[in-house]
Amino acid sequence: MEHEVNVTKLIGLSGSLRQASYNSALLRSAAGLMPEDSELVIETIRGIPLYDGDVEAAEGVPEQVSALKGAIAAADGLLLVTPEYNNSIPGVFKNAIDWLSRPPADIPRVFGGKPVALIGASPGGFGTILSQNAWLPVLRTLGAELWSGKRLMVSRAQTVFNQDGTFADQKIEEQLRAYLKGFVAFARSAQQKTLDS
């Protein structure tokens, strides 16, 4: 059982609700390409309501949001797989993160010092670079530790994935594998620092 302690656990979120989303396909592929002694648990933002301060005041944080906050807080890292809408962050994804940051007193528990990585896939030629950049001030505000050792922006995603969501492009698969290896090492060293302190 001692071996279990060394497993680095990441939570992965896709910022798209679409069934055939390239970003959800990228996230599923990532789960299957994790390095040894690590795992990626896919969670969902589906069903999170639009943020409304009146609802929060009257009913508190929705149960789904509380559960997701707990999962992120307990994980060693968070992988955000972001589409790009109108050169920026998809509204549904930002809305989910806004809910996850409520109440503000909980931000340090959920995001404070949390290793976070950003990847994304897009049918266009720039592979979510603007969306990834738009996330930077959000993550900085939440106190997360962004891993910037590599970048992964999948452009022309319709040529990268097969109909079933698997990779048609082995080069991208290898890039994703290398990206995950780097991010897991980053999350592991943060985990070690926490244990040592």
Question: Mean pLDDT in runs of 10 for the chain (197 residues)?
Answer: 71 96 96 97 97 97 98 98 96 98 97 98 93 98 96 94 91 96 96 72
Q: Where are the domains of the chain?
A: 2-196
Q: Where are the alpha helices (DSSP H) in the chain?
A: 22-32, 53-59, 63-74, 91-100, 107-110, 129-142, 157-160, 170-196
Partner residues linked to 115 by β-bridges: 145
Q: What is the pLDDT of residue 2?
A: 46
Q: What is the pLDDT of residue 6?
A: 84
Q: What is the pLDDT of residue 192?
A: 77
Q: Phi and psi (nearest 5°) for 36?
A: -60, 150
Spatial separation of the C-alpha atoms in residues 188 and 7, rounded to whole Å: 9
Instruction: Supply the CATH classification number for the domain 2-196.
Output: 3.40.50.360
Q: What is the pLDDT of residue 197?
A: 64
pTM higher than 0.75 for the full model?
A: yes
Q: What is the pLDDT of residue 3?
A: 45
